[in-house]
Amino acid sequence: MFGSGIDLYSLVLGFVVIMLSITVHEASHALMAYRLGDSTAKYLGRLTLNPIAHMDPLGTIMILMTMLGGFGIGWGKPVPVNPHNLRNGPKTGMALVSAVGPISNLALAAALAIPLRFNGVTNPMVADILFFFVTLNVALAAFNIIPLPPLDGFKVLLGILPYRQAYSLSRLENYGPAILLLVIFAGPFVGINILGMLMRPLMNALYWLIMGFPGFGFF
């Protein structure tokens, strides 16, 4: 996503930025669930900005391995939610809990973009770090908005659809990881960057909205 190779500095910086961004994302899920009446995540120590609480062992290893190739694809530990405790009902409640994840990444990107947009950063290294934060969080938001299981966008879609259609579509959740891996890794075999096709338009639009100019074609 961020180039064909990566040096040690970029590897460390990228890992820190990714983990902090995932932490904000997952903690936001936990906070929304708690605000809507479900304390499951709070009791399990997920209502925190401590990155360790949100690190998934396999997802973290995946981040490190893929970053060596210039990508940085992985995941945090899913936030446990009991849909039946949500005061808006399971369907709408889960849509709200899911939506706040990518929204939190966009909010973080927008906040960090303020000093960049108004020329408030004079140190080139600080500017690079902020650009990295903004770009990564826009990418995380765009990725999670994709309406495929097990991403947040899929659960938001289920919350919007009528009950019958939502129930029929929810059966795909059992195959969610396989579908997502197919979308991510099938591109080289079919000669089409499927993930890029899904993310590029949305990512560029979000980047334009936040930074005032389009992205740089990371796909």
Taking only the tens place, the pLDDT of each residue in 18-43 is 999 999 999 999 999 999 999 999 99
Every domain of the chain and the residues it spans: 8-211
pLDDT of the residue at 215 = 64
Q: Whole-angstrom Cα distance, residue 114 to residue 109? A: 9
| pLDDT given for residue 216 in this prediction | 53
Least confident of 79-83, 134-138, 167-171, 172-176: 172-176
Other CB atoms within a 10 A radius of the CB of residue 196 amount to 15
Counting residues of the chain whose pLDDT is more than 90, the rounded percentage is 63
With bands split at pLDDT 50, 70 and 90, how would you rate the model's confidence at 3? very low
- Indicate whether 99 pLDDT > 80: yes
Residue 66 has pLDDT above 90, yes or no: no
Query: Higher model confidence: residue 2 or residue 194?
Result: 194
Question: In this structure, what token pair is assigned to residue 5?
Answer: 């190779």
Of 2-16, 25-39, 127-141, 155-169, least confident by mean pLDDT is 2-16
Indicate whether 1 pLDDT > 70: no
Catalytic machinery residues: 26
Dist CA 15 CA 135 (whole Å):
14
Residue 70 is predicted with a pLDDT of 66
Which of 8 and 2 is assigned the larger pLDDT?
8
Q: How many residues does the chain have?
A: 219
Alpha-carbon distance 56 to 47, whole Å?
16
pLDDT per residue as tens digits for the range 167-192: 999 999 988 888 888 887 777 677 67
**pLDDT band, residue 91 (cuts 50/70/90):** very high
Beta strands in the chain (DSSP E): none
pLDDT above 60: residue 142 = yes
Comparing CA positions, the residue from 57, 50, 42 lying closest to residue 23 is: 50
pTM (predicted TM-score): 0.90
